[in-house]
Amino acid sequence: MTDTILEKLSAYITTEFLKQPGRILTPNEPLLSSGLIDSFHLVDLSLYVENNFGVRIDDAELNASSFDNLNQLVAFIQSRM
């Protein structure tokens, strides 16, 4: 379960945001603090999470203090399931 969510998120971020579809993000790789994704993407990310994992996230909930890597993001999503 965790792995599936993680893979889906990784594929979404590398394809849509980084434009490097072949790239694999590691679970602990910093995403916001490293500049891989920025505030413009956070709304996209929360819409993607809502539409794909059946959880409800308010726009402002995903931010630099709620997650910085895929592990943290997955934990956040699972806490809502």
Structure-token pair, residue 21: 């579809």
Stretch that binds other proteins, among 2-10, 35-43, 71-79 (CB under 8 A): 35-43
If one asks whether residue 13 binds other proteins (CB under 8 A), the answer comes out as: no
Q: Which is nearer to other proteins, 2 or 20 (CB)?
A: 20
Cα→Cα distances 69→34, 36, 62, 66, Å: 10, 10, 12, 10
For the CB of residue 32, give the shortest distance to other proteins in the complex, in Å: 7
For 10, residues 6+ apart whose C-beta sits below 8 A from its C-beta are: 24, 25, 70
CA distance 19 to 27: 19
The yes or no reply on residue 26 touching other proteins (CB under 8 A) is no
The footprint of other proteins (CB under 8 A) covers 19, 23, 32-40, 42-44, 47, 50, 58-60, 63-64
